[in-house]
Structure 1
């Protein structure tokens, strides 16, 4: 999908998130956002083929790439080392929806569906319950990556480039086998990248 310059998509991340993150967004989020903007050229979102992890090497420990294979299957194609350390295992290849709290699963389904079909970017603040029992707030910036179909030439966005930060422990629950992603959702802010945002 070509970028319509008249749509005036968001370019200043701090301005876009001034209400969702009034204290400001982490510098790592701005760095990933700036890299994402630099590779999108004249498209609404960059091609996954143009994403070079080595260009953001210093950010990689907190970076993940999701692949949306179907409405109910969104797998980790890549998970940074810091993510694996926090979660207590490397989630690469796992379906993030199956790691989520059952009562929050529909939220994640809708989030990834919007991001990969509209497409649109998002900032989300939520709580994880880690395998260690630690409960902590996580902030994530999620940016779509396009994938060109050789048959049609159309661009969809079945992949999501994302970066995450974890806050201090809020409490401790009993240890569990695996991390629960998104036990609660505190905030979501859509970021218009040129194709609009979901209706409120």
Structure 2
């Protein structure tokens, strides 16, 4: 996960589940994630076993230029990717896995923007499979929200078991990095003073 919204929503979901496979839908308090609501959504499985939007945030609806409630989730994707995104969503519903999808959103003029999608399972009971998610743009050009995204093209997918796999760099040991300024030993002589210019140190080379 690279986007702040994805990381914040994951931490919230992880706290709520408290060791369970997924939190219950009724445990979600919108006021707890109010800064994320514009980009969040909830999917449910309909009678056709297809994922549809139960709720969708205002900025998410603006990104696609329409109200998404009741709309088919796989239909937002390029035709060749619809089957894959349907399988990913089914895995989140049935297996309670976490899925991260990186994709490009394309508008009518062919302009593209990278997005990160996070899907998190919810416990809605066997009769009501649900999940929540967030859609985060890598950047926000002026056209986004004015010119709708017409198509989504999957670039990378990662399905994660959050109980077995560390998700963040904070869970990994620190790696020592050599200093940016060369040492005196590396320069092959006694210490020499240099002039600092912003983040650089300029050393006199000895030539007149």
Aligned to 2:54: 77
Q: Distance in 1 between matches of 2:59 and 2:158?
A: 24
Aligned to 1:163: 134
Q: Distance in 1 between matches of 2:71 and 2:5?
A: 25
Q: Distance in 2 between matches of 1:125 and 1:26?
A: 11
Which of the pair has more CA radius of gyration? 2
Q: Could you report, residue by residue, the CA deviation over 1:110-143 in whole angstroms, capped at 9, with x for unpaired residues?
A: 1011111112001110122236754222111110
Cα root mean square deviation, aligned: 2.9
Is 1:186 the counterpart of 2:155? The answer is yes
The 8 Å contact of residues 47 and 145 in structure 1, kept in 2 or not, is answered as yes
Shift of the 195–147 alpha-carbon distance from structure 1 to 2, 3 Å rule, reads farther
Is 1:125 the counterpart of 2:96? The answer is no
**TM-score in terms of structure 2 length:** 0.68
Q: Say how many residue pairs are matched.
A: 162
The 8 Å contact of residues 6 and 136 in structure 2, kept in 1 or not, is answered as no
State the secondary structure of the residue aligned to 2:138: strand
Shift of the 126–146 alpha-carbon distance from structure 1 to 2, 3 Å rule, reads same
5+ unaligned residues in a row in structure 1: which ranges?
1-16, 18-24, 150-155
Q: Distance in 1 between matches of 2:106 and 2:49?
A: 21
What does 1:20-169 align with in structure 2 at a 5 Å threshold? Answer: 25-69=2-46, 72-130=49-107, 134-149=111-126, 158-168=129-139
5+ unaligned residues in a row in structure 2: which ranges?
166-208
Q: Distance in 2 between matches of 1:68 and 1:141?
A: 17
> Which has the larger share of strand?
1
The 8 Å contact of residues 65 and 161 in structure 1, kept in 2 or not, is answered as yes
